[in-house]
Structure 1
Amino acid sequence: MKEDTHLNSMFAKFKILQRPYANGLQQVLGPYQMSEAQWGLIRYISEVGPATNSEIALYWSVEKPSVTALAQKLIDQHLIYVVYGTDKRKKVMHLTEEGIVKYQQLKKVVHAFQASLLVDITEEECEVVEKVLEKLQQNFRK
């Protein structure tokens, strides 16, 4: 175990990076009338597959009403649609054709933004950070 100062420094750096990353991402998404959260939902559905509000809420560690409000905005924009499961309370979100096109469009600009942040960072360094973050996620779920 590292000294307390190193641990505090690591978590402080995570916190300090969060806001500039979110602000930069919002600048990239803004011209497309898309918020960071909306992008996250579209990305999840595209990359993981159709999902319920409960599944997204659990994955993001947020309350279900937050996802419901977000989903409604995307429904209003014709980017997602909902199919009722066998239980009428279970609503599964899917991307519309327009949502798929929007995802493909935004994926390019988001990846370009992220690549600009990874200048001088090796693939190995990225893998180490991913492993640490995965372990932190697991520890939060315990």
Structure 2
Amino acid sequence: MGGYGAGAVPGGLLMPGRAPARPLAVASVAAPAWALPSGPLAAGAGLPWVAVGALVAGLGSAVCGTLYDTTTQKWVPVELLGRTTAFGVPGSFALGPLGPAAAGPLADRFGAGAVLLLGAVWQLAAGVVVLTVPAVRNRRWEEGPDS
């Protein structure tokens, strides 16, 4: 967690005033960094490798979160922000605990390394899938409703 924080703080400090041409694409490229701590853990690598993975994951998380939130605020009309959040947040909070709940029994059956590797591959694949969506990949910053 220390490595994650050590990446998230500079990642967050890097973002103010930044407006990449394709913010959702940049956010989607940064998001798979969450997989990086799981890879070294799955491989049985030492703490320094896990910490480096966590540092990059923290940086990616700050970049992704900042760009996702600012694009949501820019393109979703104010009167729809509550509804938009109402769809996204329950999925994250209601479905999010299912992974950790399943991880223990799956690790007992297949081994912790296999579960960690599957999680890392899943996170990487999810990022690639999101980037295949043209509305995500091609959205330009200057296309917002307030341009």
The two structures have a TM-score, normalised by structure 1, of 0.30
Q: Which has the higher contact order (CA 8 A, sep 6+)?
A: 2
Q: Quick check: which one's helix share is greater?
A: 2
Given the two structures, how large is their TM-score scaled by the length of structure 2?
A: 0.29
Which is strand-richer, 1 or 2?
Answer: 1
